[in-house]
């Protein structure tokens, strides 16, 4: 880390002609199990990774925010601190910084926030499903907090950054921001919501986790895929609530419906079979069931970039969410009980998760499916997509004694099989372990 800070310091001096006052890092994450259920209110089980976003910062007396990036592909950006505008139509890198900045600004009602010179470096592959965007939002939030000499708990920071990332248009649930702040070396975390809390999960010592990038980029703010799934789950919650005589118009997520009904996840899965048909629901059918107008559906329930979606797969999405939420709890229990066949049992759960993501949630892609199959072929006990999907990375649980062979075989079979993958960087395939959360460094 010291070497990286010194290198960033030199680049900062070259760029701004001054010395940074402090540095902030925020890690990416890999979700071991619990995909697309945080925004439904359910617990997830991620770990922070060693790959991170690092920002060198100099507070300045002017009311200007100057952002620059060590990667020449990302252009410089400057704006006045009292004129923060986040363009949802073009999710460029600086807009994620502005999300974190604006979150702190609004939380404290800062009328004259401190101006800053900032130089960003990052080793989380972008659009890979390792949460580079949320790490940047978290890093920016902590930068803004420190520059304005303010303080918050890690949980408060995570909650603010979760809300503020929605300024970019993504209706996320809070997992990425929570683990970026609450991550600890050597430990995965069970992250629960409402209220936000984190519980240590000790992973099996005889296995490693391997991250493999499919080389298919996916920016969840750039398409409506992600938000469509959020809205389908919201509609499913309203259907279930109305069917059971609850105040359906107030129901926003599936977990709160389960809590109000006071039933188990297994009972919710039975209810899904009872309430929904497997064919997609049209806008008209949704309106008829909820007894609302099309205008009410579009303006009161759907978010802006999903208002033109014509079909909603409520049965498939709800079935995935309840079954995936159950797998998270099973995963944690296996880690706690530590049976002799723990690695096999955990791998089975990861494999089931991928099948559900592929078939029910439809958030995989052919390249990810191929990559998961290749990893299993060469020794992974379990392999699944991680992150939003539609590209990005797979995470695999690999017995440590099989790790070298798996890395070599996956490199040859997946990355060297296509010309466009031959030039990928080494960081597209690597073993990782749980890393620490966001930090402030005062000296390089």
DSSP lists the bridge partners of residue 362 as: none
Beta strands 77-80 and 207-213 are: unpaired
**Residue 167: which residues within 8 A CB-CB, separation 6 or more?**
86, 88, 98, 99, 102, 103
| Rounded Cα gap, residues 386 and 212, in angstroms | 10
226's tokens: 């992600």
Letter string b/e over residues 249-285, b meaning 16 or more CB atoms within 10 A of that residue's CB: eebbbbbbbbeeeeeebeebbebbeebbeeeebebee
Determine contact, residues 177/165, Cβ cutoff 8 Å. yes
Q: Is 337 marked active-site? A: no
Q: Are 210 and 216 in contact (CB under 8 A)?
A: no
Taking alpha carbons only, the member of 170, 231, 89, 237 closest to residue 388 is 170
Q: Is 241 buried (19+), middle (13-18) or exposed (0-12) by CB count in 10 A?
A: buried
Active-site position among 38, 52, 121, 176: 176
DSSP 8-state assignment for residue 61: S
Please list the active-site residues: 176
């Amino acid at each position: 880390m010291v070497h990286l800070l010194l290198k960033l310091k030199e680049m900062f001096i070259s760029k701004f002609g001054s010395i940074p006052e402090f540095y902030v890092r925020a890690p990416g994450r890999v979700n071991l199990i619990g995909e697309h259920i945080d925004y439904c209110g359910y617990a997830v089980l991620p770990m922070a990774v060693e790959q991170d976003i690092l920002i060198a910062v100099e507070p300045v007396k002017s009311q200007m925010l100057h952002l620059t990036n060590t990667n020449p592909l990302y252009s410089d950006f400057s704006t006045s601190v009292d004129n923060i505008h986040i363009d949802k139509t073009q999710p460029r890198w600086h807009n994620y910084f502005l999300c974190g900045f604006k979150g702190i600004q609004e939380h404290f009602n800062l009328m004259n926030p401190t101006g800053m010179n900032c130089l960003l470096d990052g080793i989380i592959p972008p659009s890979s499903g390792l949460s580079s965007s949320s790490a940047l939002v978290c890093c920016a939030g902590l930068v803004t907090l420190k520059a304005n000499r303010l303080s918050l708990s890690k949980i408060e920071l995570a909650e603010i950054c979760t809300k503020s990332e929605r300024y970019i248009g993504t209706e996320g649930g809070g997992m990425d921001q929570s683990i970026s702040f609450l991550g600890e070396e050597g430990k995965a975390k069970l992250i629960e919501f409402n209220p936000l809390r984190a519980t240590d999960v000790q992973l099996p010592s005889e296995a490693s986790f391997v991250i493999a990038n499919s080389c298919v980029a996916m920016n969840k703010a750039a398409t409506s895929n992600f938000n469509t799934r959020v809205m389908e789950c919201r509609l499913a919650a309203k259907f279930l609530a109305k069917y059971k005589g609850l105040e359906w118009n107030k129901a926003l997520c599936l977990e709160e419906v389960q809590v109000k009904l006071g039933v188990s996840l297994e009972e919710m899965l039975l209810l899904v079979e009872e309430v929904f048909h497997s064919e997609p629901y049209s806008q008209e059918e949704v309106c008829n069931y909820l007894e609302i107008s099309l205008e009410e559906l579009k303006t009161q329930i759907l978010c802006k970039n999903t208002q033109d979606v014509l079909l909603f797969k409520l049965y498939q999405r709800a079935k995935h969410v309840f079954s995936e939420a159950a797998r998270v709890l099973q995963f944690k229990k296996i880690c706690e009980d530590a049976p002799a066949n723990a690695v096999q049992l955990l791998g089975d759960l990861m494999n089931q998760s991928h099948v559900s993501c592929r078939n029910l949630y439809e958030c995989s892609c052919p390249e990810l499916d191929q990559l998961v199959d290749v990893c299993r072929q060469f020794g992974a006990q379990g392999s699944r997509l991680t992150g939003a999907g539609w590209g990005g990375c797979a995470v695999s649980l690999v017995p440590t004694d099989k790790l070298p062979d798996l890395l070599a075989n996956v490199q040859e079979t997946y990355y060297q099989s296509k010309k466009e993958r031959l030039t990928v960087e080494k960081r597209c395939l690597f073993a990782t372990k749980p890393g620490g959360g966001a930090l402030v460094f005062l000296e390089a």
